[in-house]
Amino acid sequence: MTDCPVLERRYRRLLALYPRAFRREHGQEMLAVLMAGAKEGQRRPRFGETADLIKNAIWIQLRPNVRRSQPTVFWAGVLMWLCAGLRLLGVPLLPAMPGSVGFPLEIGISWGVFALLAWGNGRGYEWARVLFTAWVALHCLVLFYDLVHLTASYSPAWTVIASVTFWLVELAAVLLILNRRSQPHYGHKPA
């Protein structure tokens, strides 16, 4: 065990990444455990400790805040994160013309939109539910217009199948968050 104020200050900076309510409840205990595990004369947190504290802080900030009594919202969040992952892999939202590829900026922005909406829905924010529903409605209109008028005969079959599959995953997520059983999740104020 060490009594180094520099090390304690550095640990406190890492713990500041956690939400305020979490720090209030667990901060002193975590700091005590970290200080007790430090070697004599240690002045910096070890790399593994730093990586673990940052990883866990990010997880606590981003994890869904869904009660177990609302599995519809949980599965909707899983589907939204699946959409975000598919966008990150470059799965097209709309059928693509032969030879076209998704631009990294477009893929990154749409991944960010899905990630933000998945996070917001997991936390029970009504704005996230409304925006995701509007996003999927707009995607429905554009996809159907594209399939009927523009690219149905010009697009490779795999892009049409991928786009429709992607749309079905989005639609399933919307149906889950608009389900009557999901309503209590959006009616509360998150902590």
- Whether the predicted pLDDT of 134 surpasses 90: yes
pTM of the predicted model as reported, rounded to 2 decimal places: 0.65
126/172 same-domain check: yes
Query: What size, in residues, is the chain?
Result: 191
159/88 same-domain check: yes
56/115 same-domain check: no
Q: What separation, in Å, do the N-terminal and C-terminal C-alpha atoms of the chain show? A: 35
Alpha-carbon gap, residue 46 to 101, rounded angstroms: 43
89/171 same-domain check: yes
Residues 22-63: tens digit of each pLDDT: 889 998 999 999 888 888 888 889 998 889 989 888 888 776
Q: Are 158 and 85 in contact (CB under 8 A)?
A: no
Residues 54-79: tens digit of each pLDDT: 988 888 877 666 666 678 888 888 88
- Whether the predicted pLDDT of 188 surpasses 80: no
27/55 same-domain check: yes
Note the pLDDT of residue 109: 81
- Grade residue 176 by pLDDT with cuts at 50, 70 and 90: very high
- Whether the predicted pLDDT of 159 surpasses 80: no
55/122 same-domain check: no
Tally of domains in the chain:
2
- Grade residue 83 by pLDDT with cuts at 50, 70 and 90: confident
By residue range, what is the domain housing residue 47? 5-62
Q: Which residue has the tokens 């917001």?
A: 120
